[in-house]
């Protein structure tokens, strides 16, 4: 079990992951990304993640960890393109996995968390302008976990983290809304080996956040949240989603429906899939090049 500190300050807040939905959409034909973690070049992006709006412009943001340890942020634009990059940190993030959990400390601004190579979980409080302040350690032992920042899963007004351990068990780590965690994570599922899990927002429009899962055969499944961190039986809502590395958990174009970004790690191309809400996406739109992890680097 990963350990989560249950302290830190500030008032509670609510944040809703905007609704990601998916059904029947098919990614463009392309090479599946190679899962090669070795031999990272000086300019590759070792991690890309989406975050709910960080800089207050109404559009979700893309976070990227460059292999030299820099952390960058791009805001989406009204034209459904990526805006200019913003350097959040020139160094210090090498080997980190970053996440956009929404407002974690209750000050009204969405924050960033990361897991460093030693498994420490760090909170970077938004400075109110889309930058990050000093980091605060909020947990340890997170290396073996896959984290899914799925918003408030138990409907208590505070954002939570879902995490999958090496045995494929799914845990709900409940946020306090003040920067920390409630004392004990809750087991909410098992059997999540070889399945990619994504924040989905409220697919069912019942006020409870849901999740999407992509199985190894590329089929897409929706799990409706019950409001206590557990989920109903899976419903198949699409196929053909296996080719790309995907990021979810943010409404990029500000229409209230969460969207998805896909990276073709072989070419470095970045694609945007506008969410229609309720279970489908628009066709892929190329929004960036040079985003490969190990090649085709962005200058
Ligand atoms: Ca933004
Ligand atoms: Ca905050
Ligand atoms: Ca919660
Ligand atoms: Ca959207």
CA distances from 24 to 221, 243, 278 (A): 11, 14, 12
pLDDT in tens, the chain (299 residues): 678 775 433 332 222 222 222 223 333 222 233 333 333 345 789 999 999 999 999 999 999 999 889 999 999 999 999 999 999 999 999 999 999 999 999 999 999 999 999 999 999 999 999 999 999 999 999 999 999 999 999 999 999 999 999 999 999 999 999 999 999 999 999 999 999 999 988 877 788 888 988 899 988 888 999 999 999 988 887 788 777 788 888 899 999 888 889 888 788 899 998 988 766 778 889 999 989 887 666 65
Three-state DSSP state, 93: coil
Sequence-ordered list of residues with C-beta below 8 angstroms from that of 182, at least 6 positions apart, any chain? 6, 174, 175, 176
Taking the CA of 130 as reference, the closest ligand is 1
pLDDT value, residue 201: 82
Taking the CA of 276 as reference, the closest ligand is 4
Task: Calculate how far, in angstroms, residue 276's C-alpha sits from the geometric centre of ligand 4.
Answer: 7
Angle at 65 between CA 251 and CA 15, to 5 degrees: 30
Q: What is the rounded CA–CA span in Å between residue 152 and residue 240?
A: 29
Taking the CA of 208 as reference, the closest ligand is 3
Write out 169-211 in H/E/C secondary structure: CEEEEEECCCCCECCCCEEEECCCCCCEEEECCCCCCCCCCCE
Task: Calculate how far, in angstroms, residue 265's C-alpha sits from the geometric centre of ligand 3.
Answer: 34
pLDDT value, residue 299: 59
* DSSP label at residue 277: S
pLDDT value, residue 7: 45
Whole-model pTM: value is 0.84
- CA-nearest of 236, 275, 269, 234 to 254 is 275
Q: What is the rounded CA–CA span in Å between residue 116 and residue 241?
A: 29
Taking the CA of 178 as reference, the closest ligand is 2
Tokens in use for 151? Answer: 């918003």
Task: Calculate how far, in angstroms, residue 123's C-alpha sits from the geometric centre of ligand 2.
Answer: 9
Three-state DSSP state, 72: strand
pLDDT value, residue 277: 75
Taking the CA of 103 as reference, the closest ligand is 2
Angle at 23 between CA 17 and CA 28, to 5 degrees: 100
* DSSP label at residue 290: -
Tokens in use for 233? Answer: 């039986």
Task: Calculate how far, in angstroms, residue 85's C-alpha sits from the geometric centre of ligand 4.
Answer: 20
């Amino acid at each position: 079990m990963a350990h989560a500190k249950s302290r830190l300050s500030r008032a509670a807040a609510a944040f809703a992951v905007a609704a990601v939905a998916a059904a029947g959409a098919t990614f463009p034909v392309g090479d599946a990304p190679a899962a090669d973690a070795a031999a990272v070049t000086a300019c590759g992006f070792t991690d890309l993640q989406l975050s709910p709006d960080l800089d207050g412009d109404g559009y979700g943001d893309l976070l990227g960890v460059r292999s030299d340890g820099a952390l960058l942020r791009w805001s989406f634009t009204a034209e459904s393109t990526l805006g200019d990059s913003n350097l959040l940190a020139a160094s210090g993030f090498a080997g980190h996995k970053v996440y956009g959990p929404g407002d974690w400390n209750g000050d009204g601004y969405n924050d960033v968390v990361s897991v460093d190579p030693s498994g420490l979980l760090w909170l970077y409080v938004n400075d109110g302008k889309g930058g990050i302040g000093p980091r605060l350690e909020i947990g340890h032992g997170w290396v073996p976990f896959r984290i899914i920042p799925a918003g408030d899963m138990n409907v208590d007004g505070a954002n939570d983290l879902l995490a999958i351990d090496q045995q494929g068990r799914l845990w709900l780590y409940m946020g306090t809304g003040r920067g920390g965690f409630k004392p004990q994570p809750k087991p909410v599922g098992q059997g999540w080996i070889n399945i990619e899990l994504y924040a989905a927002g409220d697919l069912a429009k019942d006020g409870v956040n849901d999740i999407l899962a992509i199985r190894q055969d590329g089929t897409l499944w929706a799990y409706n949240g019950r409001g206590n961190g557990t989920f109903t039986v899976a419903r198949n809502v699409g196929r053909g989603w296996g080719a790309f590395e995907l990021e979810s958990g943010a409404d990029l174009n500000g229409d209230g429906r969460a969207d998805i970004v896909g990276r073709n790690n072989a070419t470095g191309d970045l694609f945007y899939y506008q969410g229609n809400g309720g279970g489908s996406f628009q066709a892929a739109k190329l929004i960036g090049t040079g985003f490969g992890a190990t090649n085709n680097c962005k200058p």
